[in-house]
């Protein structure tokens, strides 16, 4: 069944005949963003100053106090520079519906870039700057303050829409069930920002009822994918003639791709159907977080690594670590590291045990696998055997969050739609691991991983990581 909320909010706008297209209500509310960001950046700078030179002086004496007037002038200029970085990061892009959850990662990235510019400036200018605290605190506080400011703008925007202010007058063109669902959703949820004026069923219906009222219409959204091509072309010509924005909802394309982009080649619109939302700066930021997270985890967990290594050696003969062949992003093989939880010749015995496989799909699972050692059962129950994969993350073969990697022979048995799991790097944990783990069928696991791939965000990653920790500690749903 079609989800009207996902459909209405997630329009894949893949065609537009106005080159400098922007939504009127987006432009209206975007005018609040620049001054709001500027004010919040200034407030964050002032807050950090008084935090360091007033609140924390008793804990850490000040060697050299920066005069506030000089500091404040610097903050005003730096905030202007940061607005430029915000613009380059896409925080002021118009045309598509802004979502706060999508803005937070961009804010994180932009503030990080801004701080790096400041550090580089201080370094290359060779000036003495004693307070490293101000640099670190300014980075963290600016992310929080700017996010808070934008959240307030979004709340105001939502309030205005619900009061019927600045709604965009649109026509929904179509007559199928999807059209009906979208109309009902938009009319019952004014917070989306649209006012549905009517629902012409066809081009002739559009001409008959709305030809004399085109000035009232800002855009027409075609939601019926069964309209004939000739009729769609007439609707597009109608929109061009009367300066109306034409959009259409994704149907097949929307279900096959999570990231849709358009560019022009010699004036011809070329549509790109992406594999995942994880691209561009998002991929760079995710890699940065992977490295920081993996390095910190390796440092803090090094005593645990030593303890586990000693117990593994005492429990059974064989190496502490094992290296297993797995398939990663873009079908590239790599060596995955684990604490050994099985007897040394486990891989050879697997061929004999395949007839006892208890799981549907390409993956092998056996409840009482005789290859697992005594301590190995504990390692698997707590997932501690996976910790050496932090080295795979550092090497760039894996990520903190993503689909779990599978063996080459398992990947060879993938159905066609399962191959989408190879669109991104495999992960140490993932959505299936916090949703039932081994109790899921392979198909259910694949659906969850594909959902993650299509809806990736930094907040989504953080949520999965935080939910993984209690599951490991309680060994809930362990394999």
Residue for token pair 């959240």? 151
Burial zone of 59 (CB within 10 Å; 0-12 exposed, 13-18 middle, 19+ buried): exposed
Can you tell me the mean pLDDT for 47-74? 75
Tokens of 459: 């907040």
Can you tell me the mean pLDDT for 87-94? 79
Contacts of 107 (CB under 8 A, 6+ apart): 86, 91, 143, 146, 147, 150
Residue 164 vs residues 25, 33, 64, 98, 160: alpha-carbon distances, Å? 12, 21, 54, 19, 6
Pairing of strands 321-327, 333-339: antiparallel
More confident residue, 132 or 57: 132
What's the whole-number average pLDDT of the chain?
A: 80
Q: Note whether 112 and 182 are same-domain residues.
A: no
- At residue 388, φ and ψ (nearest 5 deg) are -60, -15
Q: Residue 56, Cα to own-chain centre: how many angstroms? A: 36
The answer to whether the CB of 40 falls within 8 A of the CB of 21 is no
Can you tell me the mean pLDDT for 112-121? 86
Q: What is the DSSP letter of 412?
A: T
Residue 349 pLDDT level (bands cut at 50, 70, 90): low
Q: Note whether 320 and 455 are same-domain residues.
A: yes
Note the pLDDT of residue 251.
54
Q: Note whether 195 and 241 are same-domain residues.
A: yes
| Cα–Cα dist 69/53, whole Å | 14
Residue 21 pLDDT level (bands cut at 50, 70, 90): very low
CB half-sphere exposure, 439, CA atoms < 13 A: 6
Highest mean pLDDT among 98-102, 108-112, 157-161, 370-374 belongs to 108-112
Residue 26 pLDDT level (bands cut at 50, 70, 90): low
**H/E run at residue 470:** helix 458-474
∠ at Cα 255 (94, 226), nearest 5°? 95
Q: Note whether 183 and 235 are same-domain residues.
A: yes
Q: Note whether 313 and 460 are same-domain residues.
A: yes
Q: Note whether 35 and 105 are same-domain residues.
A: yes
**pLDDT above 90: percentage of residues in the chain:** 30
Highest mean pLDDT among 73-82, 83-92, 131-140, 262-271 belongs to 73-82
More confident residue, 16 or 221: 221
The parent domain of residue 98 ranges over 24-162
**Domain termination residue (choose one: 226, 253, 274):** 274
What global pTM score does this model have? 0.52
Residue 273 pLDDT level (bands cut at 50, 70, 90): low
Q: Note whether 138 and 190 are same-domain residues.
A: no
Q: Residue 189: give its domain's CATH number.
A: 3.40.50.2300
Q: Note whether 414 and 454 are same-domain residues.
A: yes
| Cα–Cα dist 390/426, whole Å | 12
Is the pLDDT reported for residue 345 higher than 80?
no
| Cα–Cα dist 133/135, whole Å | 5
Residue 202 vs residues 30, 168, 301, 391: alpha-carbon distances, Å? 34, 21, 64, 59
Residue 294 lies in a domain: no
Q: Note whether 400 and 438 are same-domain residues.
A: yes
Is the pLDDT reported for residue 40 higher than 80?
yes
Residue 80 vs residues 49, 72, 116, 131, 389: alpha-carbon distances, Å? 18, 13, 15, 22, 42
Q: Note whether 176 and 149 are same-domain residues.
A: no
Note the pLDDT of residue 5.
36
Q: How many domains does the chain have?
A: 3
pLDDT per residue over 452-469, tens digit each?
998 888 888 988 998 888
Note the pLDDT of residue 1.
36
Note the pLDDT of residue 19.
32
Is the pLDDT reported for residue 268 higher than 80?
no
Note the pLDDT of residue 71.
87
Query: Among 8-17, 62-71, 146-155, 271-280, whose mean pLDDT is lowest?
Result: 8-17
More confident residue, 404 or 372: 404
Is the pLDDT reported for residue 17 higher than 70?
no
């Amino acid at each position: 069944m079609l989800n009207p909320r996902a459909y209405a909010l997630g329009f894949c706008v893949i065609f537009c005949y106005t080159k400098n297209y922007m939504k009127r209500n987006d432009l209206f509310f975007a005018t609040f963003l620049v001054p709001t960001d500027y004010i919040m950046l200034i407030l964050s700078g002032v807050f950090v100053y008084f935090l360091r030179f007033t609140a924390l002086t008793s804990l850490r004496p000040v060697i050299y106090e920066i005069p506030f007037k000089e500091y404040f002038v610097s903050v005003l200029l730096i905030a202007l520079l940061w607005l430029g970085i915000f613009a380059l990061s896409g925080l002021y892009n118009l045309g598509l519906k802004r979502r706060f959850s999508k803005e937070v990662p961009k804010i994180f990235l932009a503030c990080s870039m801004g701080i790096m510019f400041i550090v580089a400036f201080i370094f290359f200018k060779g000036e003495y700057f004693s307070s490293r605290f101000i640099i670190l605190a300014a980075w963290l506080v600016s992310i929080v303050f700017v996010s808070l400011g934008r959240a307030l703008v979004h709340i105001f925007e939502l309030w205005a829409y619900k009061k019927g202010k600045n709604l965009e007058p649109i026509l929904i063109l179509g007559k199928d069930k999807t059209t009906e669902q979208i109309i009902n959703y938009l009319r019952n949820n004014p917070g989306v920002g649209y006012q549905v004026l009517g629902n012409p069923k066809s081009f002739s219906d559009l001409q008959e009822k709305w030809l004399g009222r085109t000035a009232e219409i800002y855009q027409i959204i075609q939601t019926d994918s069964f309209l004939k091509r000739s009729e769609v072309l007439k609707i597009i010509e109608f929109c061009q003639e009367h300066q109306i924005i034409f959009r259409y909802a994704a149907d097949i394309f929307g279900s096959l791709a999570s990231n849709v982009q358009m560019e022009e080649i010699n004036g011809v619109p070329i549509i790109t159907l992406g594999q995942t939302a994880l691209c561009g700066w998002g991929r760079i930021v995710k890699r940065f977080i992977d490295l920081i997270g993996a390095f910190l985890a390796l440092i803090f967990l090094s005593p645990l690594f030593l303890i586990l290594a000693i117990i593994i050696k005492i429990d059974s003969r064989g190496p502490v670590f094992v290296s297993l062949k797995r398939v990663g992003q873009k079908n590239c093989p790599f060596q995955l590291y684990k604490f050994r939880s099985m007897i040394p010749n486990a891989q050879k015995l697997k061929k004999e045990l395949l007839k006892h496989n208890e799981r549907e799909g390409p993956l092998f699972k056996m409840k009482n696998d005789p290859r697992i050692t005594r301590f190995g059962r504990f390692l698997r129950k707590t997932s501690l055997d996976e910790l050496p994969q932090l080295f795979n993350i550092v090497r760039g073969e894996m990520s903190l969050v993503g689909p779990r990697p599978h063996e080459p022979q398992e990947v060879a048995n993938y159905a066609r739609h399962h191959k989408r799991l190879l669109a991104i790097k495999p992960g140490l944990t993932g959505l299936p691991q916090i949703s039932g783990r081994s109790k899921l069928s392979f198909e259910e696991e694949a659906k969850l991983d594909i959902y993650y791939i299509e809806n990736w965000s930094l907040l989504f990653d953080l949520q999965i990581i935080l939910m993984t920790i209690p599951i490991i500690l309680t060994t809930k749903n362990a394999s």
